[in-house]
Amino acid sequence: MWRRASLYIYALAAVIYLTLPFAWVAAVSFMPEREVTQQRWWPEEPTIGNYSLYFDVEGQSADVGAAIARQFPRAIVNSLIIGTAVMLLNLTCGSLAAYALARLPFRGNLLLLLFYLGSRSVPGVAIMIPMYLLMRSYGLLDTHLSVILSHTTFTLPFTIWILKGYFQTVPLDLERAARVDGCTPLGALVRVFLPVTTPGLVAVGIFAFIASWGEFLFALLFTTTIASRPVTVLASDFAQELQVPFTVIAAGGVLVILLPLVLSFLFQRLIIQGIGGSVTG
């Protein structure tokens, strides 16, 4: 009984610890500017005025930070393009690699897996300059592709590891049954294996998307204009402009968080199944 209660207390503490900063940002985004200086926890006169800057399509506003805020929709589209491409690359390359590692015995497969894992331990800063030179020499600076490629390099190893483990829980007999039922090897993969592993694929796809969405270092390094700039980098521009109201910055923060949050809630069940579950025939 006491054990159970302490478990709940611990879980509750963790939830508060994790959500409090977000909750406060969300609360601030609905406050009039003067309420922030009064150190309020909750908006007393809630307003959506802070958000209006971000949807000021005609560009009328001359408020501080308005120039940056006006670029937000475009930056969100950039982030969406980059995140979706990273997700698709992870799913196609990742599932094929993981399938091979899970199903086909070949020389050096363990070494390859360890290499993937090892590549995760290299800090981004360490390869920042070589990466920059590489992108410059291929003429990829300030393109979506440069950010997509760099994000894929650090999300793919994780994807392969998770998917390999997940694929190994699929009974081999399922594919064999599909073969006997008349499928070609590729047909068995498409009609039986992939549908069965949907939770795992959705989970790693969303992880890859969110990782890309939240990445800052490489995105900052490779992008210079709004043509390719993702929303995380744009949001940091507020720091360079003096006296942007904190409430406006908070509204921007909420807009950045919103999409990954919605995705996580929508696919919650599949993500949990994909990471913690297994497939049984």
Cα Rg, the chain, nearest whole Å: 23
DSSP letters along 30-47, please?
Answer: TS-HHHHHTT-SS-SS--
How far, in whole angstroms, is CA 88 from its chain's centroid?
13
Per-residue binding letters, 144-183, with other proteins (x by CB under 8 A):
---------------------------x-xx-xxxxxxxx
Decide: helix, strand or coil at residue 1: coil
With CB under 8 A as the contact rule, which of the stretches 92-100, 117-125, 245-253, 273-281 interacts with other proteins? Answer: 273-281
- The nearer residue to other proteins, 46 or 171, going by C-beta atoms, is 171
Rounded to a whole number of angstroms, the minimum distance from the CB of residue 203 to other proteins is: 16
Single out the residue of 53, 75, 148, 192 in contact with other proteins (rule: CB under 8 A). Answer: 192
- The nearer residue to other proteins, 192 or 254, going by C-beta atoms, is 192
What residues contact residue 32 under an 8 Å CB cut-off, 6+ apart?
A: 43, 45, 47, 49, 247
Contact criterion met (CB below 8 Å) for 188 and 171: no
By the rule CB under 8 A, 235 interacts with other proteins: no
Contact criterion met (CB below 8 Å) for 210 and 151: no
By the rule CB under 8 A, 280 interacts with other proteins: yes
- The nearer residue to other proteins, 74 or 103, going by C-beta atoms, is 103
Under the rule (CB under 8 A), what is the footprint of other proteins? 171, 173-174, 176-184, 187, 192, 195-196, 198, 279-281
